[in-house]
């Protein structure tokens, strides 16, 4: 049974391992217009997007994914984009 949503806030240019192991990526909210690309990876390593790439200058808003991630959620922000990742296991 899935738990309630968890959240991870990211506001710098970084690689963030949001969660390791099977989970569900519910949505990503861009809190301020994206300063650089935001890569979404189903995995625990690497920097190559295999789920999605949100473009630099993506507008403020919530981007729904509702997809099962087999290995984990890894987010790579190319610039200081202010985002919130919501997920559950």
Residues 47-62 pLDDT 10s: 999 999 999 999 999 9
| Within-domain flag for 1 | no
Task: Give pLDDT, residue 64.
Answer: 98
CATH of the domain at 25: 2.60.120
- The DSSP annotation for 44-55 comes to SS-S--SSEEEP
- Whether 49 is in a domain gets the answer yes
Q: 46-54: which pairs have CB atoms within 8 A and are 24 or more residues apart?
A: 46/74, 47/15, 47/76, 49/76, 51/25, 54/28, 54/30
19 within a domain of the structure (yes/no): yes
Count Cβ atoms within 10 A of the Cβ of residue 47 and give its class: 0-12 exposed, 13-18 middle, 19 or more buried.
Answer: exposed
- Give residue 27's domain range: 6-88
How many structural domains comprise the chain? 1
In a domain, 43, yes or no: yes
**Residue 45 included in any domain:** yes
pLDDT tens profile 2-40: 578 999 999 999 999 999 999 999 999 999 998 999 999
Its pTM stands at 0.94
Instruction: Decide if 69 is inside a domain.
Output: yes
11 occurs within a structural domain: yes
Beta strands in 11-78 (DSSP E): 15-20, 23-30, 38-42, 52-54, 61-69, 72-77
**Per residue in 63-77, pLDDT tens?**
999 999 999 999 999
């Amino acid at each position: 049974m899935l738990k309630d949503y968890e959240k991870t806030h990211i506001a710098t240019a970084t690689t963030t391992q949001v969660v390791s192991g099977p989970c569900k990526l519910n949505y990503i909210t861009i809190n301020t217009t994206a300063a650089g690309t935001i890569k979404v990876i189903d995995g625990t390593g690497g920097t190559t997007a295999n789920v999605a790439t949100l473009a630099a200058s993506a507008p403020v808003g919530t981007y729904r994914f509702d997809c099962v991630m087999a290995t984990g959620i890894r987010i790579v922000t190319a610039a200081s984009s202010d985002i919130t990742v919501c997920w559950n296991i």
